[in-house]
Amino acid sequence: MAVRPSARHAPRVNTPSDLLPVVYADESSNSGQNLLDPHQPVFTLAGVHLPDEMAASIVDEVRSQLPPTQGEPKYGSLARSSAGRRALKRAFGSMPEGSVRSHLMDKRFMVVTKLVDVLVEPLADADGLNLYEDQAGLALAELLRMAGPVLGDAAAFHRMLQAFVDWVRQRVATDDLFTAIAAYKASIPAEHANFAGWIELLECCRGVADATAADLATGEQRDILDPAVPALYCLCTSFGESVGRFRLVHDTSKVIDRNATLLRMAHLLPDPARPGRFNDPLPAVQIDFADSTSHPQLQIADWAAGAVRQWAAHLAVGGGDRFSEELADVVKPWVIGAVWPTGTVDLRASRTQGG
């Protein structure tokens, strides 16, 4: 349910990979499939497309403003000191427009969207209903997110989400998941019977869950809760609009390495949001991995991902400080897509789902 940018790729030409433009990417706060980690509520991925000399100059300028004893200037250490924050602001201000892009995810909301994706969508599809059209599935996820903790017991709602995450990670059985769903439904007062009907819809998905559990056990659906893969696809698609085909250098990532073939084969898979059409091809024709100390662009990608994450976490859970707020004007233009709650429900889409 990620917000997908439109894809308008440059024509394919047979350009040697060493002559292609290079995009560098890094993540911030990726807790893998543990999406309900209370200490990491937001995941961000940032990509950077900058010439080597410009990137090196930006990193050198930041280093010149720090104590000589400081090691690699990672975002976490820079953001903790006033000198580091000033250096980051200057660095961000020197970035050419379009050279930095980011994708972000509210992890708790992603759990709700995946609950709909994994359980409800296959059941709806079997009945001839495409939940991806008109964002009907997203409307249901918004409804569950907003009403769930309010119209029923908030703790029971959280336990239901946690049971779903644990079930996907094969830490609990399917019976445990549906016990948690039933317990949450039982917490909904009688005056909210209409909303309880949506939870009954989840209970109707037992057959889907049994089939999915079998796939999970064989490793066929590994990493389905990890935000890194869909975020990278969206980020690459966005960069492809402006630079065409490129080579991607990603900070060391086991999950991206495991799914690199899947990403490169995306164009062979149908796009559920566009019936009868396939996904757009990944414009990253080669994916390499490197350490951030090897490329100044990867260091800048670390700063960008950290800044977007700090600002977004401030939005998601509150708290933070003045610097978190000051980042808004800088990082908001970088965001090209998100799995993020809007706080509204498209009632027309909801009625379409409900029949």
Q: Answer with the residue of higher pLDDT: 343 or 129.
A: 129
pLDDT tens digits for range 223-264: 999 999 999 999 999 999 999 999 999 999 999 999 999 999
11 pLDDT higher than 80: no
Range 79-88 burial, b when 16+ CB lie within 10 A, else e: beeeebbebb
The pLDDT, as a whole number, for residue 17 is: 65
The pLDDT, as a whole number, for residue 259 is: 93
Residue 298's closest CA among 10, 18, 55?
Answer: 55
Q: In the chain, what are the domains? A: 17-106+224-339 (3.30.420), 108-222 (no CATH)
Confidence at 67, pLDDT banded by 50, 70, 90: confident
The pLDDT, as a whole number, for residue 253 is: 93
72 pLDDT higher than 90: no
| The amino acid at 235 | L
What strands, in cross-sheet order, belong to the sheet with 246-251?
Answer: 284-290, 246-251, 22-28, 42-48, 100-106, 335-339
The pLDDT, as a whole number, for residue 272 is: 78
The pLDDT, as a whole number, for residue 220 is: 76
177 pLDDT higher than 50: yes
Is the Cβ–Cβ distance between 199 and 164 less than 8 Å?
no
Strands 22-28 and 284-290: unpaired
* Reported pTM: 0.88
Distances in whole angstroms, Cα of residue 301 to Cα of each of 46, 165, 329, 334: 6, 29, 18, 12
Strands 42-48 and 100-106: antiparallel
Confidence at 222, pLDDT banded by 50, 70, 90: confident
Confidence at 345, pLDDT banded by 50, 70, 90: low
Please state, for a pLDDT cut of 70, what percent of the chain lies above it. 92
Q: Answer with the residue of higher pLDDT: 24 or 134.
A: 24
Mean of per-residue pLDDT scores for the chain? 90
The pLDDT, as a whole number, for residue 117 is: 95
